[in-house]
Amino acid sequence: MGRQPCCEKVGLKKGPWTAEEDQKLVAFLLSNGHCCWRLVPKLAGLLRCGKSCRLRWTNYLRPDLKRGLLSEEEEKLVIDLHEQLGNRWSKIAARLPGRTDNEIKNHWNTHIKKKLRKMGIDPVTHRPAVSLAQPDGPDPLKQQRQQEPSVSGAGADDKEEEEEAATSAQPPQVVDSSASSASAVSPSCSSSASASAATPGADVDVDWPDLFEVDGIMDIDWAGFLSASGDDGGCSAVGTDMLFDHYSDVGFDQQVWM
């Protein structure tokens, strides 16, 4: 049996993308869009699988992406949305213009999760984590796992448990209200990729040919092209006041965070 690979993997390149590959992909997508991701690498002259191209485009090359750290407001929003939606990163990303699910997921796992734990908040339930009463004690994660029923099955069960835990704190009434805002963001940039790429951020006029005079395409300050994004370029330090507000009912010590 077994599952068919998404594409012929033989002879395909893996690993980090080179600037040249980026240029080829961007040039192709901007001029042609994508009718079918499977054909994109062939037509663009890339030794990559379509899936890889799609990922590279949506997570890294899309011109409407913001770069840099999440702002204070964005981080707060991520926490809010995670509380409602659980690990539905794409849904969360749909509410944050210019951010990708991958980016948010990474930020959550590397930054926010840690901060919440430090604050004594269980990042899954968004409630005070009992086991964190002794921050220097045994690994709170281990204790948490021990408290939970066995999750050796992984997969769907695992997810359901987490969702249940997350939603038990607050019922998931997020009926695709994301749809409205999501449409403005178009994180999946599916069939409208070419359109959204050609007109990133509505009335932004991007001089695309200039892009290819840059060595590594990601050296480009996309934000510079996207004046409509309206943030500070993503370089602002992630503040915490809003988090303190958010969890004020939990009653954690602000000093712990600092």
Partner DNA sequence: AACCTGTACAACCGCCTAGGA
Partner DNA sequence: ATCCTAGGCGGTTGTACAGGT
Positions that interact with DNA (CB under 7 A) = 3-4, 6, 9, 13-17, 34-38, 48, 50-52, 54-56, 59-60, 69, 87-91, 101-103, 105-107, 109-111, 114, 154-156, 159, 162, 187-190
Q: Rounded to an integer, what distance in angstroms lies between the CA atom of residue 97 and that of residue 184?
A: 8
Least distance in angstroms from the C-beta of 45 to DNA: 17
Least distance in angstroms from the C-beta of 118 to DNA: 11
The counts of H helices and E strands in the chain are 15, 0
Least distance in angstroms from the C-beta of 251 to DNA: 26
The neighbouring-strand residues paired with 128 are 121
- Nearer Cβ to DNA (14/202): 14
Place of tokens 């409205």: 180
- Nearer Cβ to DNA (109/146): 109
Q: Token pair of 26, please?
A: 């961007």
CA-CA distances (angstroms) from residue 198 to 26, 30, 46, 181?
A: 11, 7, 22, 20
Least distance in angstroms from the C-beta of 110 to DNA: 4
Give burial (CB, 10 Å; 0-12/13-18/19+) of 33: middle
- Nearer Cβ to DNA (76/91): 91
The neighbouring-strand residues paired with 121 are 128
Q: Token pair of 165, please?
A: 């835990």
Are the C-beta atoms of residues 129 and 117 closer than 8 Å to each other? yes
Least distance in angstroms from the C-beta of 188 to DNA: 4
- Nearer Cβ to DNA (51/127): 51
- Nearer Cβ to DNA (212/248): 212
> Angle, to 10 degrees, between the axis of helix 155-169 and the axis of helix 72-85?
110
Place of tokens 């690993």: 15
Least distance in angstroms from the C-beta of 173 to DNA: 17
Least distance in angstroms from the C-beta of 249 to DNA: 26
- Nearer Cβ to DNA (14/203): 14
Q: Rounded to an integer, what distance in angstroms lies between the CA atom of residue 67 and that of residue 236?
A: 11
- Nearer Cβ to DNA (46/121): 46
